Amino acid sequence: MGHLALKYLGGAIPPGVLNLHEKLRQIAAAYAGKKGATIPLLQKAQEEFGYLSEETISEIAGFLGLTKNEVYGIATFYAQFRFERQGEHTIKCCQGTACYVQGGHRIVEAVEDELELEVGETTTGDYKFSLEKVACFGSCALAPVMVVDKTVYGRLTPVKARQIVAEY
């Protein structure tokens, strides 16, 4: 906290930063004095802002009394955290074992093609969709599976997957 006050002592706080700082302060208040707060704090921040910007990381480091490096070290270890702006809808394609043997990789290919994503790209240019490949949702009996936001779609075919994406 002190760290933040010092950072902006010399001049006006940019409006965006104030907003971010205020929101994070509210989020962080729930964890004040609690052990093991780093990951829950990062999770809440990501829930609020959609991803962890460098500024967010910097503010969180301030709250926790850690360096930015340390917070990045922790955040980048876990698959859940995003460091770039995400699309409005998140499509998660399961690449677990059951989905793999049922052709899950063909579902990803179909979605990538439908979204016109280039190799390595995960978010569409209009920020409507982000695509993630995840290990397993535990809905293996309905493989292949994909999850759009919070809705689970099972027993997919490439054609069905394209239709679902097109409807959003």
Q: Which residues in this chain contact other proteins in the complex, by CB under 8 A?
A: 35-40, 42-43, 73-74, 77-81, 95-102, 106, 109, 113, 134-143, 145, 150, 152-155
Taking the C-alpha atoms of residue 125 and residue 122, their distance in angstroms, rounded to an integer, is 10
Q: Which is nearer to other proteins, 22 or 48 (CB)?
A: 48
CA 127 to chain centre: 13
Short-list 4, 3, 63, CA closest to 28:
63
**Residue 5 Cβ, how far from other proteins at the closest point, in Å?**
24
> Concatenated DSSP letters for 74-86?
HHTTSTT---S--
**Residue 15 Cβ, how far from other proteins at the closest point, in Å?**
31
**Residue 25 Cβ, how far from other proteins at the closest point, in Å?**
19
Written as one letter, the residue type at 118 is: E
Q: Which is nearer to other proteins, 35 or 167 (CB)?
A: 35
